[in-house]
Structure 1
Amino acid sequence: MEIETLEEFDDHLGSEAPLRGLRLQDLDLTGYADRLAARGDLTGLVVLGGDVPLAEAEVLLRGGAILFPGVAEAPVDPWRGLYLPSDLYAGLEDGYAATPDAKAYAWFVDARLRTDAYCTLVRAIHDDSVTDDLDEFVQGRSVVGIMGGHALQRDSPSYAGAAGLGHALAEEGFLVATGGGPGAMEAANLGALCRSADAVGEAVARIAPVPSFRPDVSAWAAGALAARQALVGDEPAATTDTLGPT
């Protein structure tokens, strides 16, 4: 059983249900040393990442729990799940190269790390964490996948058409999922975020002045983030009808 929030963990501790076999994923366990020390069933408890101060770590290890710490060398948190655009593009004001998205991509394509067993393990854990969160996100929802070319310009009729398609699918209750790239995939996600046909046209017009991610990824991403903010504000991803780049 996976525990992904402190509320879930507190409920579990309060119910006196066994801890053996639990997976605590990316939790801040600061202040839990005494409550954990009072338990006699820590063997088999697995703690995946998160914040585990020394006092809590000592209690867990003495009790037979297994701890997987965070990975300081990686540009991503391997234990986290899905990302919001604001997560991937944090620091964009300092240029795209400063963002987690750029750093993660550079880390992924670094040829020196491709045969590094440790990096391979971290990447596998990260991808599994995202997949696990993705499975929960789409549970019970009707999903339509859209794949398209990266080269499609934001100011082209085809881009507007893809945005209209994304909007129409979302209006019918579908979750629009894409490969996360620019072009047609971005357009479909953008359309799915819009709550009216007029909003689709306005959103496309808003980002059209920067038609491509070439030559300036920073300007391209900034336009997309501004368009998303105008449409949904700080709305959590789980309440939207789109899964992809925008």
Structure 2
Amino acid sequence: MDATPDEIETLAELRLWLDKRSLAGLAVQGLDLTGIDLSGVAVDDALFLGCRLSTEVAADLVGRGASVVPELAHAPYPTHPSTLYTPADLTAGFERGGFAGMYDTAVYEHFVEHGGPLPPIREALSQRLHDHGIDNALTDALGAWKSAPDAGPVVGVMGGHAEPRGSVAYREAAALGHALTRAGALVLTGGGPGVMEAANLGAYLPDAALPSALEELTAAPYFADHEPYTAAALAVRSRYPSAEPWAGGLSIPTWLYGHEPANLFAGQIAKYFSNAIREDTILRAARGGIVFAPGKAGTVQEVFQAATKAFYNSDGASGPMIFLDRRYWTEVLPVEALLRPLFAQAPTEPARVHLTDDVDEAVALLTGG
């Protein structure tokens, strides 16, 4: 059995329960149940989410005490996803149709055509159901990570989305992601380009591959050039394949910013429609601390959302808040001058605040190295 014994997400798991002749109280997610005989199986208080069922079988299950929530068929995305996305999932269709033909692009265009962040009722329900599925899949994935005997901290890396490939800041973020992974941490980003892509890239690549991959990616430096930007990332992934599901760490992007090409170097991708849920989820998951590289409005928003959580200890103890590039965070955007007096008034012990120009120092502060 898996780490979530109340949830059935594979046919192999289902068969184990069918042998016991009872699905009572369990949630069955996203399975094709066509041809599977459930007539003699107890289903009281069972929940069937997004499963493929005939109308007759669905009616029988409801009549015997189960709840059935089908897929909403109008959308190009699953309304009950049971697992996180992978880079292959998001880029499905690129080989045939380029950037315009990708799954990720099709979902974004559907999102825009159906009201963007203000969708009508049917689309709003579909999006909320999808994001609920991603919530559940992310909880399962992080639970599996944390239960591993050698699990390290989950460390967030935040920073500017517009940082071009090849820049000093991009290379520094890649070095940071690489060093954090080698120290046993799980790198978590917001899933966008720029600093976020660089951190996942560094986490993905083995030691010898990072310098050459960084140079290769500079041929398509700007994310606004969607086609070459995506093709370059796929070429690097193809050149350095990995069977490790966590290779590159975790990213949590949103279709609100779907005009930006997907960051393809995180092994696990929790993509949401709701940016508000996505932002809160990133900060809630990054309990091992956060590194803030230079960024603008979005990064500053994350700084103060994280500070609020740390001030009230609302999600449990927070790891350190590390600000990479001392001059930027003291002269350009002097957030430290606000955070230190704020944290001095905290009702509980707040996060520690550090400024540094040194990636190795940042890694040591986060991992105890």
Structure 2 residue matching 1:232: 3-state secondary structure:
coil
RMSD: 1.9
Correspondence for 2:79: 78
Match of 1:154 among 165, 187, 212: 165
Correspondence for 2:215: 205
Task: Work out the CA distance in 2 between the residues paired with 1:236 and 1:108.
Answer: 31
Offset, 1:60: 2.4
Correspondence for 1:105: 108
Correspondence for 1:231: 240
Structure 2 residue matching 1:42: 3-state secondary structure:
coil
Kindly provide the CA deviation profile for residues 185-210 of structure 1, in whole angstroms up to 9, marking residues without a partner as x: 001000001121x3111211222101
Offset, 1:76: 0.8
Residue 182 of structure 2 is aligned to residue 171 of structure 1: yes
Segments of structure 2 that go 5 or more residues without pairing to the other structure are 1-5, 252-262, 266-369
Correspondence for 2:250: 243
Tell me the TM-score normalised to structure 2 length.
0.60
Task: Work out the CA distance in 2 between the residues paired with 1:136 and 1:232.
Answer: 25
| Letter of the structure 2 residue corresponding to residue 72 of structure 1 | A
Correspondence for 1:187: 198
| Letter of the structure 1 residue corresponding to residue 218 of structure 2 | A
Task: Work out the CA distance in 2 between the residues paired with 1:49 and 1:111.
Answer: 22
Pairs within 5 Å for 1:110-149: 110=113, 112=115, 114-139=118-143, 140=146, 141=151, 142-149=153-160
Offset, 1:129: 1.0
Correspondence for 1:45: 46
Structure 1 residue matching 2:68: 3-state secondary structure:
strand
Offset, 1:66: 2.1
Structure 1 residue matching 2:132: 3-state secondary structure:
helix
Q: 1:187 to 1:112 in 2, by over 3 A?
A: closer
Segments of structure 1 that go 5 or more residues without pairing to the other structure are none
| Letter of the structure 2 residue corresponding to residue 211 of structure 1 | P
Task: Work out the CA distance in 2 between the residues paired with 1:236 and 1:68.
Answer: 33
Offset, 1:144: 0.7
Correspondence for 1:4: 9
Tell me the TM-score normalised to structure 1 length.
0.89
The answer to whether the 8 A contact 1:193-1:232 is kept is no
Offset, 1:115: 4.3
Structure 2 residue matching 1:51: 3-state secondary structure:
coil
Taking only the aligned residue pairs, the percentage that are identical comes to 38
Correspondence for 2:230: 221
Q: Number of residues paired by the alignment?
A: 238
Task: Work out the CA distance in 1 between the residues paired with 2:20 and 2:215.
Answer: 54
Kindly provide the CA deviation profile for residues 172-196 of structure 1, in whole angstroms up to 9, marking residues without a partner as x: 0011010000011001000001121
| Letter of the structure 2 residue corresponding to residue 118 of structure 1 | R
Kindly provide the CA deviation profile for residues 124-174 of structure 1, in whole angstroms up to 9, marking residues without a partner as x: 111111121112222214211111111111122221111111000000001
Task: Work out the CA distance in 2 between the residues paired with 1:31 and 1:111.
Answer: 35
The answer to whether the 8 A contact 1:3-1:9 is kept is yes
Task: Work out the CA distance in 1 between the residues paired with 2:198 and 2:250.
Answer: 12
Structure 1 residue matching 2:240: 3-state secondary structure:
helix
The answer to whether the 8 A contact 2:114-2:123 is kept is no
Offset, 1:54: 4.6
Whichever structure has more helix as a proportion of its residues is: 1
Offset, 1:59: 3.8
Task: Work out the CA distance in 1 between the residues paired with 2:223 and 2:56.
Answer: 48
The answer to whether the 8 A contact 1:32-1:56 is kept is no
